[in-house]
Amino acid sequence: MPNETLTIIDNRTEQTYSIPISRGTIRAMDLRQIKTGPEDFGLMTYDPAFMNTASCQSAITYLDGDKGILRYRGYPIEQLAEHCTFLEVAYLLLHGELPTTEELENWSCEVMHHAMTHENVKKFMDGFHHDAHPMGVLISTVAALSTFYPDARNIGDPKCRRKQIIRLIGKMPTLAAYAYRHRLGLPYVYPDPDLGYTQNYMNMLWRRTEPKYAANPVLARALEVLFILHADHEQNCSTSAMRAVGSSQADPFATAAAAIAALSGPLHGGANEEVLRMLDEIGSKDRIPAFVEQVKYGKRKLMGFGHRVYKNYDPRARIIKRVAEEVFEVTGRNPKIDIALDLERIALSDEYFIKRKLYPNVDFYSGIIYQAMGFTPDQFTVLFGIPRTVGWLAQWQEMLEDPEQKIARPRQIYTGQDKRDFVPITLRGQRELAGV
Ligand code: ACO
């Protein structure tokens, strides 16, 4: 049995410390004992952007970025995408186990039962300008749900918590579809609980005058797979926002609104929208080399490439590439896929990308499918947010049940002025008079 400790010698004091190592990690608080004297605060770690710091212990998603492995609750993402429905995966993420037939039936009924929103939510959404970005609409409307469900603040009661979780998962497609139709000036379509989760979403998006909407099964399945792939991704930016805001015991709607805000950024979920804009700008295959040169000279970023954790092919991008071909069988080929495939090929054989281990991430191909299905680029990040809500809520629940978690409150290294005395306004700018 190896000695699972780290020996530290503080050269300032010549003191030696033995720090326990557990799961390849030391506890930052164990460093606090390392001091130069009684007045010393103790040693801290400095880790901007959390490059090498675990903020929690989690049993939800396993990710090995070097090997390109992603598992939910132990199940490989490839198997879940092949065999499951989205709500089955949602159940798995939240409960830890795959549901039985009966459990899945009850779970689906419960979620679909909560797809309807209060009529005033519709009125609230009507207040947005016609060209409001759907992510802005979603952030605000999800936050507004906390005013419709004041019981949600009772986060310590597991029964009440469960209700809010089901409410939000049920309502996300409805809010997203309303945001979509509001933009087009179309009347809102109420949810149809007889349909599955994605079919109902498609119904609320695209139903016109037909009495019952029937989604194309290939497209509905493609959306289901995309939802599964986006459902969780451990401690990414938006999930960390969910955990940080939730740690203050804010209600889950206000908390999820913060996570959606984090997702909207172009370096995170907003990248899928940016990829489409980039492909539009490139326009044709012959312009790819010039674009790649710009990226290499630091003038541009290759959107949809690179990842903080994956230093190998993102397994989700591999699945999405396959789904794209299935979708194109129905919709016709989106010509952007050929530009994207060529861009990937050129980038992956270039020293700049090889050296930095930059591979396509989940956002590189997803937008091309969404566009072929009829979504406009501003909807792409919304399509990410609907399924990721499940991951956020699973992580939020885990955080609340973790006795080690407290309000998130990082330390800082202060680099500002030392103590100085107040200068009356009449003396400011006269440095000598002010004694500076
Ligand atoms: N295009 C060009 N160069 C890149 C890219 C890119 N997309 N991504 C990283 N690099 C370069 C950096 O310039 C840096 O080069 P340097 O060492 O010469 O300075 C090196 O690769 C390391 O990159 P970092 O920025 O340090 O990596 P970090 O982990 O901080 O960033 C991120 C990860 C934000 C995803 C980054 O790769 C990026 O901006 N990608 C494009 C946006 C994107 O696709 N985001 C979606 C991510 S997936 C998701 O959130 C769902």
> Pocket of ligand 1, candidates 308, 362, 366: which has the most ligand atoms within 8 Å of its Cβ, to mutate?
308
What are the Cα distances from residue 149, in Å, to 167, 190, 253?
A: 10, 20, 9
End-to-end CA distance of the chain: 62
* CATH number of the domain to which 234 belongs: 1.10.580.10
Q: Domain residues for 89?
A: 67-268+390-400
Are 146 and 254 found together in one domain?
A: yes
Residue type, 321: K
Are 260 and 121 found together in one domain?
A: yes
Q: In this predicted model, what pLDDT tens digit does every residue of 155-174 receive, in sequence order? A: 999 999 999 999 999 999 99
Q: In this predicted model, what pLDDT tens digit does every residue of 352-365 receive, in sequence order? A: 999 999 999 999 99
Ligand 1 near 362 CB (within 6 A): yes
358 near 347, Cβ under 8 Å? yes
Q: How many independent structural domains does the chain possess?
A: 3
Ligand 1 near 361 CB (within 6 A): yes
Identify the CA nearest to 228 among candidates 406, 417, 98: 98
Q: Decide if pLDDT at 433 tops 60.
A: no
Identify the CA nearest to 286 among candidates 366, 342, 228: 342
Rounded Cα gap, residues 414 and 398, in angstroms: 32
Q: Report pLDDT for 435.
A: 58
Are 319 and 333 found together in one domain?
A: yes
pLDDT top residue among 1 and 82: 82
Residue type, 200: N
Q: Decide if pLDDT at 206 tops 60.
A: yes
Q: Report pLDDT for 430.
A: 75
Q: Report pLDDT for 45.
A: 97
> Pocket of ligand 1, candidates 135, 240, 264, 267: which has the most ligand atoms within 8 Å of its Cβ, to mutate?
267
Are 224 and 364 found together in one domain?
A: no
Are 109 and 206 found together in one domain?
A: yes
Residue burial 322-354, b: 16+ Cβ < 10 Å; e: rest: ebbeebeeebeebebbebbbbbbeebeebeebe
Residue 70: strand pairing partners: 63
Surface-to-core class of residue 8, CB atoms within 10 Å of its CB (0-12 exposed, 13-18 middle, 19+ buried): middle
pLDDT top residue among 435 and 364: 364
Are 261 and 290 found together in one domain?
A: no
Q: In this predicted model, what pLDDT tens digit does every residue of 336-349 receive, in sequence order? A: 999 999 999 999 99
Ligand 1 near 301 CB (within 6 A): yes
19 near 5, Cβ under 8 Å? yes
Catalytic residue selected from 268, 338, 342, 402: 268
Which stretches of 84-213 are DSSP H helices? 86-95, 101-113, 119-126, 134-148, 158-184, 197-206
Instruction: Assign 310 a pLDDT band (cuts: 50, 70, 90).
Output: very high
Are 208 and 231 found together in one domain?
A: yes
Active site residue 182: no
Mean pLDDT of 85-112: 98
Kindly state whether residue 367 falls inside one of the protein's structural domains: yes
Instruction: Assign 401 a pLDDT band (cuts: 50, 70, 90).
Output: very high
Are 233 and 84 found together in one domain?
A: yes
Torsion of CA 182, 188, 193, 198, to 10 degrees: -30
Instruction: Assign 434 a pLDDT band (cuts: 50, 70, 90).
Output: low
Rounded Cα gap, residues 89 and 194, in angstroms: 20
Percent above pLDDT 90 for the chain? 96
Ligand 1 near 308 CB (within 6 A): yes
* CATH number of the domain to which 277 belongs: 1.10.230.10
Identify the CA nearest to 233 among candidates 120, 332, 309: 309
Kindly state whether residue 240 falls inside one of the protein's structural domains: yes
Percent above pLDDT 70 for the chain? 98
Q: In this predicted model, what pLDDT tens digit does every residue of 130-164 receive, in sequence order? A: 999 999 999 999 999 999 999 999 999 999 999 99
Distance of CA 244 to the CA centre of its chain: 14
Active site residue 230: no
CA of 176 to the centre of ligand 1 (A): 29
In the sheet that 69-72 helps form, which strands lie side by side, from edge to edge? 61-64, 69-72, 75-76
Rounded Cα gap, residues 174 and 164, in angstroms: 15
Q: Decide if pLDDT at 436 tops 70.
A: no
Q: What is the pTM of this model?
A: 0.95
Active site residue 133: no
Are 23 and 71 found together in one domain?
A: no
CA of 71 to the centre of ligand 1 (A): 23
Are 229 and 339 found together in one domain?
A: no
Are 264 and 275 found together in one domain?
A: no
Q: What's the whole-number average pLDDT of the chain?
A: 96
Nearest CA to ligand 1 atom 10: 306
Mean pLDDT of 264-279: 95
Are 12 and 133 found together in one domain?
A: no
Instruction: Assign 66 a pLDDT band (cuts: 50, 70, 90).
Output: very high
Instruction: Assign 1 a pLDDT band (cuts: 50, 70, 90).
Output: low
Kindly state whether residue 435 falls inside one of the protein's structural domains: no
Q: In this predicted model, what pLDDT tens digit does every residue of 375-394 receive, in sequence order? A: 999 999 999 999 999 999 99
CA of 70 to the centre of ligand 1 (A): 20
Q: What are phi and psi of 144, to 5 degrees?
A: -65, -25
388: Cβ–Cβ under 8 A, 6 or more apart, which residues? 230, 231, 232, 233, 238, 239, 259, 263, 269
Catalytic residue selected from 232, 307, 314, 378: 307
Mean pLDDT of 277-285: 95
Catalytic residue selected from 251, 314, 363, 378: 363
Q: In this predicted model, what pLDDT tens digit does every residue of 34-51 receive, in sequence order? A: 999 999 999 999 999 999
CA of 394 to the centre of ligand 1 (A): 27
Q: Report pLDDT for 56.
A: 98
